[in-house]
Amino acid sequence: MGIKMEQLRTLLGEVYDLQAINLILGWDQQVNMPPGGAEARSHHLATVNRISHQKFISDEMGAALQAAKGELETAGAEPDSNDMRIVIRMQEVYEKLRKVPSEWVAEFARMTSLAQRNWEDAREASDFAMFQPHLEQVIKFRRQYADFFAPYDHVYDPLLDYFEPGMKTAQVKAVFDELRPQQVALVRRIADSGVQIDDSILHKRYDEQKQWDFGVEVIKAFGFDFERGRQDKSVHPFTTHFSQNDVRITTRINPNFLNPALFGTMHEAGHAMYEQGIGEGIARTPVGQGASLGIHESQSRMWENLIGRGYPFWKAYYSRLQSFFPEILSDTSLDDFYRAINKVEPTLIRVEADEATYNLHIMLRVELELALIEGTLAVGDLPEAWNRKMEEYLGIRPSNDAEGVLQDVHWASGYLGYFSTYLLGNLMASMLWEKMEQDIPNMDALVEQAQFGDLLAWLRENIHQHGAKYKPAELIRRVTGKSLTAEPYVRYLTNKFSDIYSL
């Protein structure tokens, strides 16, 4: 490696370290911190964020990027080499971050840390009015953020780009418009099918420790490496990483409902295996992490849904699950269990939604946050707007704020623009899955034998190792040869539920 590239890697390494420290603080806040720590933690986060941001946007970094690029070009470096991709991607991020003042970054981190703490109380009390002033602050800050990037095509573009580099609001709207009528029609056909599925078996008393143990057994088989990761409990399950060799997941266990821990654990493991698969050559640089939230979600939802809610997986694991809970499951057949975990039923809570209705939850949120950021919806009117849309899309109405507008932490964390990536991730997962089926023809048979090694190796080779070397759209095109489309996803959903509901 040339001397200039080495200097750049040293600088980027320090930025990466600060970002990792920031994530450790966030992990601790959600897993261990007593409520009294909130005020001090907001300052910790503000300080580390400011220093990290200042370091990234420094003139020294700008010069180091230039110098390294010149050195690589002189040496005739391959355009796809790690070093070249690091320089190109980091120059893009550098130009982006230069537009945002460090003081704003610090203040935003402090404000959202407190808002998140307040959201927990407001949700507990099911009282949106408590949270309203915090959300108004978040919206104000997010508009300011967008304005750092003016002129833009749409005020939401910079927010989206923050999570999904290169993605435009117009594209998201187009994909949503393509998908919405098909998704609504599918849910209606299911409702009209007359097929009734009994999922009461999932709502029994399931021992918490056994739920934990079964989840751990499954994700170990998937390939989650506990030598380089761990699992804890938190109110809102999440994944974070401090390097590819220290990746943390959390889960939450409901003693009266099997699904949250079971599928939540698979979901977070999908995120975590992505981070554990980052290539050595890009480690300890900001390129050494997932390419975007959409790509990330394609990984988590693939393990949770395409594998974890699939028939081949349960052919392998149902008798094992029965052995954990014989008193509950011994009289339920594999087929009945499979139908129960795939029952389609409008629900108020996004994270508990089935695959057929899930995207409607996302569309609702994205439409509302677009209206909030465009200024056509006042924060005070949000709960009513939420409830109205729930009725329109799913035919049900929340009876309180906790099961309505306060259910997700994202807005409290300042994450406007985030929700779209869940839906994009679903679409990407199906695109990748169709390619995997071409490359691994006996995939179902492997899953039926609880053999996940070839699947994980394919993901490592095609997605994980590259980290953020490529923007999401480019990565998807490199792997599948296509640009983002809803077709494979609609095919997957239609096939699956036509079978279950005899459509």
Q: Which residues bind Zn ion (CB under 5 A)?
A: 300
CB closer to Zn ion, 379 vs 476: 476
Q: Which residue is nearest to Zn ion (CB)?
A: 300
Q: How far is the CB of 238 from Zn ion (least distance, A)?
A: 8
Q: How far is the CB of 411 from Zn ion (least distance, A)?
A: 16
CA-CA-CA-CA torsion sign (462, 467, 472, 475)? negative
CB closer to Zn ion, 300 vs 359: 300
Q: How far is the CB of 163 from Zn ion (least distance, A)?
A: 12
CB closer to Zn ion, 45 vs 266: 266
Q: Where are the alpha helices (DSSP H) in 100-205?
A: 102-125, 128-147, 157-163, 169-192
Contact in structure between 18 and 48 (CB atoms under 8 Å): yes
Contact in structure between 84 and 70 (CB atoms under 8 Å): no
Q: How far is the CB of 402 from Zn ion (least distance, A)?
A: 21
Active-site position among 71, 120, 268, 355: 268
CB closer to Zn ion, 44 vs 271: 271
Across 330-350, b (16+ Cβ under 10 Å) vs e yields eebeeeebbbbbbbbbbbbeb
Our CA angle for 74, 75, 80, nearest 5°, is 105
Q: How far is the CB of 267 from Zn ion (least distance, A)?
A: 6
Q: How far is the CB of 116 from Zn ion (least distance, A)?
A: 17
CB closer to Zn ion, 18 vs 459: 459
Interhelix angle 38-56/102-125, nearest 10 degrees = 150
| Residue 64: partners with Cβ closer than 8 Å, 6 or more residues away | 4, 7, 8, 11
Q: Which residues pair with 249 in a beta bridge?
A: 231, 239
Q: How far is the CB of 459 from Zn ion (least distance, A)?
A: 15
Q: How far apart are CA 358 and CA 348, in angstroms?
A: 10
Q: Which residues pair with 243 in a beta bridge?
A: 246
CB closer to Zn ion, 116 vs 285: 116
DSSP secondary structure of 300-339 = HHIIIIIITTSHHHHHHHHHHHHHHSHHHHTTS-HHHHHH
Please give the C-alpha separations between residue 88 and each of 65, 82, 155, 252, in angstroms, as whole numbers.
9, 10, 26, 39
Which strand ranges, in their side-by-side order, compose the sheet holding 229-233? 229-233, 246-251, 239-243
CB closer to Zn ion, 169 vs 299: 299
Residue type, 280: E
CB closer to Zn ion, 311 vs 415: 415
Q: How far is the CB of 172 from Zn ion (least distance, A)?
A: 18
Contact in structure between 215 and 266 (CB atoms under 8 Å): yes
| DSSP 3-state of 42 | helix
Active site residue 474: no
| DSSP 3-state of 258 | coil
Please identify which residue in the block is written with the tokens 């970054």.
105
| Active centre residues (catalytic) | 268
